């Protein structure tokens, strides 16, 4: 408890005196004693690595990847589902009636279907139909106040499987990890090759809250002919996008809110 309180004081002091980037906030939280000693995180990692005889470096890497997964994962593919630390709901972007049509943009006090798309997304018919790229996804997370509202619930950002996996892969790219978004049917997930244990691949599903180690022999083969999958992977590793993502800034107020959400999640 003392270590947790000490970290909170130091973290808040730093974010109040200096401007912080969103990714620096995430990194500081991951390295905090409260997260490193979290029974929730330790149990998840232990379940994955038991009996695998992995290198210590691989176990440390898995711990970090699982932490980032826990920030944004949902637990199922139902509209409005929120599970991860940042409470970012899942919403389909598909169908004759797009579920996103009824999400409100709080600043405009209008449903997304009646709002023009944000800058850089002019090819889309409305804000509701936009494919939420990693920079949009994480920039929304960094705003001081929630941008969206649905059925009385306010939230900062949202996404369905492809958008969550692009957002996650972008974070992994900043960590210099070899990550691939994989595809089957209408669902996507991420697979990460362990640099120090190449016999294993880390499968991360940020829709169904799945983190598992699989044999590299069972790694999903890349489908270079699928235009959507190619786009997902290229967008989430774009050098220009990654440089912009690294510069996303959060206020001390928002950093404090993120800290509280993360600490609450890892104390479950």
**Domain ranges, residue 37:** 17-80+161-265
Question: Based on the number of CB atoms within 10 Å of its own CB, is 143 exposed (0-12), middle (13-18) or buried (19 or more)?
Answer: middle
Going through the chain in order, the beta strands assigned E by DSSP cover 20-21, 104-105, 110-111, 148-150, 153-155, 179-184, 187-193, 200-205, 210-215, 249-250
Residue 107: pLDDT band (50, 70, 90) is: very high
The owner of tokens 């390295």 is 31
Q: What letter would DSSP give residue 198?
A: T
- pLDDT tens-digit series, residues 236-248: 999 999 999 999 9
Determine, yes or no, domain membership for 178: yes
Determine, yes or no, domain membership for 143: no
Determine, yes or no, domain membership for 112: no
Determine, yes or no, domain membership for 5: no
Determine, yes or no, domain membership for 123: no
Q: What is the mean pLDDT of residues 64-77?
A: 98
- The region, left, alpha or beta by phi > 0 then psi within -120 to 50, assigned to residue 185 is left
Q: What is the mean pLDDT of residues 234-263?
A: 97
Using the predicted structure, report yes or no on whether residue 12 has a pLDDT greater than 80.
no
- pLDDT tens-digit series, residues 122-158: 999 999 999 999 999 999 999 999 999 999 999 999 9
Alpha helices of 20-72 — where are they, by DSSP H? 22-30, 33-36, 39-49, 56-72
Rounded percentage of the chain residues whose pLDDT exceeds 70 = 93
Residue 6: pLDDT band (50, 70, 90) is: very low
Radius of gyration of the chain (CA): 18
Q: Which two tokens stand for residue 40?
A: 């929730």
Task: Say what the pTM is.
Answer: 0.92
Determine, yes or no, domain membership for 187: yes
Q: How many domains does the chain have?
A: 1
């Amino acid at each position: 408890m003392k270590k947790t309180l000490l970290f909170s004081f130091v973290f808040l002091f730093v974010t109040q005196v200096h401007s912080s980037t969103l990714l620096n906030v995430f990194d500081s939280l991951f390295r905090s004693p409260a997260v490193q000693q979290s029974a929730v995180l330790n149990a998840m990692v232990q379940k994955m690595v038991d009996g695998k005889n992995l290198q210590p470096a691989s176990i440390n890497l898995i711990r970090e990847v699982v932490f980032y997964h826990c920030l944004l994962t949902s637990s199922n593919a139902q509209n409005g589902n929120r599970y991860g630390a940042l409470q970012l709901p899942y919403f389909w972007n598909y169908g004759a009636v797009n579920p996103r049509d009824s999400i409100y943009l709080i600043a405009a006090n209008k449903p997304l279907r009646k709002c023009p798309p944000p800058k850089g997304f002019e090819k889309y018919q409305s804000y509701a139909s936009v494919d939420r790229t990693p920079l949009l996804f994480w920039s929304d997370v960094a705003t001081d106040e929630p941008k969206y509202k649905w059925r009385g619930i306010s939230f900062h950002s949202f996404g369905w499987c492809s958008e969550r996996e692009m957002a996650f892969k972008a974070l992994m790219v900043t960590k210099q990890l070899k990550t691939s978004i994989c595809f089957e049917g209408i669902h996507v997930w991420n697979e990460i090759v362990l640099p120090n244990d190449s016999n294993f691949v880390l499968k991360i599903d940020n829709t169904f809250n799945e983190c598992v180690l699989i044999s590299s022999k069972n790694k999903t083969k890349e489908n270079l002919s699928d235009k959507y999958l190619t786009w997902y992977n290229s967008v989430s590793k774009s050098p220009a996008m990654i440089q912009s993502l690294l510069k996303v800034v959060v206020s001390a107020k928002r950093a404090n809110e993120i800290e509280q959400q993360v600490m609450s999640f890892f104390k479950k």
